[in-house]
Structure 1
């Protein structure tokens, strides 16, 4: 996209791209110019998409798992071919450094490959009905059938990979999907959909409707939709649930992730990892390092090492391959970060580096010892700031981490197996990363949270449980297991 060119983004409805109609511009947070213009869906589009989804569900369900897997494998290879172009779109629309964008597209390729493998594994089982007297003489079998129509509502922070998870798993299971992308990343989202279509995904398998909350609510309420996968804030997730009613829901609703650094940890390594994973994508990740609790014996050493690592991060143009930290999604988000940091300082904390912004770009900020009731600790900051707090007792720091409405993922630096087991058992989170920060994820491993961080698990294998339904077949008078009760022959 050289010069002042911009992406023209349409809605994909009933197999056709629709570009005429009401438009919305996306201004890049770094470039400060319009980088994409998107056609907005209306009520008529929603109704047409619902009609087409009913038809599409039948067509996609008739595809063999092998055919669906072949499409996803081609898409995985094509994602690598388009990696640089997709990373550039992410940088323009979101201010995400191209090094982070390239990493996200690598994960897209992995996610499609894993989804393909799971498509090939879909099956069922023969049930042991003859193990009980009333089942003798009968046979029962199950298979996993597609739910039919899935709705994927995706966030701005990782729009390509989270769409790959939702759309890839839904298609692997044999569903058609309606995609409602984030307004901040329409071109990036459509590029992933187009990649799948170019790889052989049939048009009946996907539609894309752009718009705000009213479009998401209308789609969530549609009776044709059988399962909704949503990633976003708890407030929006609650709105989706209210609109959806009695539907299957998979919700990933954010967090304020904690990482614990024990006295036996390699402090230099822990500081380097927390710096790299606390500010990647400007901290705009639901598992980004937000709170670091350090054993008081090593607190000063960690704070010094961590501050030095953070100061060394390169802030600048997201299109520069050397940039570590680009801009946040918009000026409002950036202002929230510096405001919360100032509030913590007013309450007794100190800033060891950063604390300012230039437009949507926040200088990576470290806040030392904010109080427990600071918003940096209590709420989800979703930005380029990390708090570092000392602790004295391991059981107490576990309780401190749990004193949160969220529970997505945590990190722990220690070599003490007893502490590892204790943390795994006692931390109220969906996942624990040992000798790594909270901000680490493998796309073939289940991911999700507890409490206000949501419910359900993402990763194709576990998502297939939500995207399929068990159908049972009972064969009366036919048995694979024998038909005689003990003693009948003698009688």
Structure 2
């Protein structure tokens, strides 16, 4: 199946099957994905039928036993093989990502490198799953007894993934869930059905049992039904704050990991290397057309160096190559669709009408928004208050460091922030005071290592997405009490 998805002929829409109860299915109702750059149908997904959710949940509940009986070492070897396959199929995946999402192939290749890393780390975490011997004999009532724990699979996991990094974000959820010994139901993003199907097929080709994963396509109604299914024990969702709230309502009393939206700020202090900061912000503010929850959105610059930074950033952004995502030289491709590009352009125009300067960009062609810099917008502008999730960066001045920390914290989001300074006092103050899940020093907000805890606070969600923390979320602690049997002293 992996080969048939990845090696489709040019000009032919890729078939994105569902995987239900151990069978790849193509027949039935379907949804077409129009590539945002090509403006042609690039993939066609088999949409879930009315009874598919219940069938998938029943199968997963039964199949979870099969997966749980695999030794962690067995699961680790499969994940290591999946990492190798990700490298072998790197170019084909990147091409498919470019077609479905308009993401430049060089960014798609980098995403597959991360997929390989993610599966490798998940394998390592599978080998570390264990438990502990509890110190029950430290209290009088525990004397003469022994208690042990181990981390057991949760059973059935649900992974709901977004479009912006469809391969790697699915690798995080599916890889960690499989490492933990669960059966996982994947609800694919409608914008990237073929990429999702290909990654599921890759894990199966690596040797994962059929019982370990299922894949359904469809809209929010399919996701809501899956969230409400009583068989599902844990849900990992990445997406908008609004949809995350809907997931929580539908799920009820289930374990949740929610990685939601962002409005990422990067602070550039007076002692920063401005040229380096501008280059980093240009490179990380427009990768994937800014469609990342930690993409550089708000850059706050010390007022004394504000105009110099704006000029440097404008020049760097002007050098970015915009065009065909299949061209290896392209830096910025298209956004996910024309509506998204038009929304961001509208926000930029509104900010300009309120006194901001658009120093570069401010135009679009179809779903491709020219990388845009908006300088000194009003504090209540949409480009400042809301999650842009597009090829636009705002630059604003600040006077006092404590003040800019308060300004950053005024956002309802709190995922990740960047800070350019060499002042250790400011670094520690920002780490302590900023209401975010992570701080990147001498880098922008848009930097992530896949084996390092990642997640937010406030409306950016809760839980942490890194294999070690995710394995903890995907497992439950089971306790064994041995009465009258003690490995401790009994006097």
Please state which band the TM-score falls in when normalised by the shorter chain: over 0.9
User: C-alpha distance in 2, partners of 1:393/1:49?
Assistant: 55
2:124 maps to 1:117? yes
Alignment of 1:148-227 (within 5 A): 148-227=155-234
User: C-alpha distance in 2, partners of 1:448/1:54?
Assistant: 29
Contact 1:42 1:215 in 2 (8 A): no
User: C-alpha distance in 1, partners of 2:462/2:250?
Assistant: 17
Q: Structure 2 residue aligned with 1:131, among 134, 138, 142? A: 138
- Equivalence for 1:93: 100
- Equivalence for 2:276: 269
How far is the alpha carbon of 1:2 from its aligned partner?
4.5
How far is the alpha carbon of 1:415 from its aligned partner?
0.2
User: C-alpha distance in 2, partners of 1:325/1:173?
Assistant: 37
Alignment of 1:292-441 (within 5 A): 292-441=299-448
What CA deviation, in whole Å up to 9, does each residue of 1:140-193 have, x standing for no partner? 000000000000000000010000000000000000000001000000111111
How far is the alpha carbon of 1:235 from its aligned partner?
1.1
User: C-alpha distance in 2, partners of 1:49/1:2?
Assistant: 31
For residue 43 of structure 1, give the secondary structure of its aligned residue in structure 2: coil
For residue 116 of structure 2, give the secondary structure of its aligned residue in structure 1: helix
Alignment of 1:71-86 (within 5 A): 71-86=78-93
User: C-alpha distance in 2, partners of 1:278/1:50?
Assistant: 40
User: C-alpha distance in 2, partners of 1:349/1:337?
Assistant: 15
For residue 449 of structure 2, give the secondary structure of its aligned residue in structure 1: coil
Q: How many residues align?
A: 484
For residue 443 of structure 2, give the secondary structure of its aligned residue in structure 1: coil
What CA deviation, in whole Å up to 9, does each residue of 1:327-350 have, x standing for no partner? 000000000111000010111101
Using the size of structure 1 for normalisation, the TM-score is 0.98
How far is the alpha carbon of 1:115 from its aligned partner?
0.2
Q: State the superposition RMSD in angstroms.
A: 0.6
User: C-alpha distance in 1, partners of 2:400/2:162?
Assistant: 37
For residue 380 of structure 2, give the secondary structure of its aligned residue in structure 1: coil
- Equivalence for 1:258: 265
How far is the alpha carbon of 1:19 from its aligned partner?
0.6
- Equivalence for 1:45: 52
User: C-alpha distance in 2, partners of 1:300/1:372?
Assistant: 18
User: C-alpha distance in 2, partners of 1:371/1:258?
Assistant: 16
User: C-alpha distance in 1, partners of 2:472/2:279?
Assistant: 38
How far is the alpha carbon of 1:43 from its aligned partner?
2.0
User: C-alpha distance in 2, partners of 1:219/1:7?
Assistant: 25
What CA deviation, in whole Å up to 9, does each residue of 1:3-30 have, x standing for no partner? 3111011110011011100011000000
Q: Structure 2 residue aligned with 1:460, among 464, 467, 471? A: 467
2:484 maps to 1:483? no
For residue 411 of structure 1, give the secondary structure of its aligned residue in structure 2: strand
For residue 319 of structure 1, give the secondary structure of its aligned residue in structure 2: coil
5+ residue gaps, structure 2, are 1-7
What CA deviation, in whole Å up to 9, does each residue of 1:258-279 have, x standing for no partner? 0000000000000000000000
Contact 1:411 1:437 in 2 (8 A): yes
- Equivalence for 2:285: 278
How far is the alpha carbon of 1:44 from its aligned partner?
1.3
User: C-alpha distance in 2, partners of 1:241/1:290?
Assistant: 27
For residue 286 of structure 2, give the secondary structure of its aligned residue in structure 1: helix
User: C-alpha distance in 2, partners of 1:460/1:97?
Assistant: 27
How far is the alpha carbon of 1:254 from its aligned partner?
1.0
User: C-alpha distance in 2, partners of 1:375/1:248?
Assistant: 33
Contact 2:76 2:179 in 1 (8 A): yes
User: C-alpha distance in 2, partners of 1:20/1:76?
Assistant: 31
2:109 maps to 1:102? yes
What CA deviation, in whole Å up to 9, does each residue of 1:418-441 have, x standing for no partner? 000000000000000000000000
Moved over 2 A (4+): none
User: C-alpha distance in 1, partners of 2:269/2:443?
Assistant: 12
5+ residue gaps, structure 1, are 485-491
User: C-alpha distance in 2, partners of 1:4/1:109?
Assistant: 29
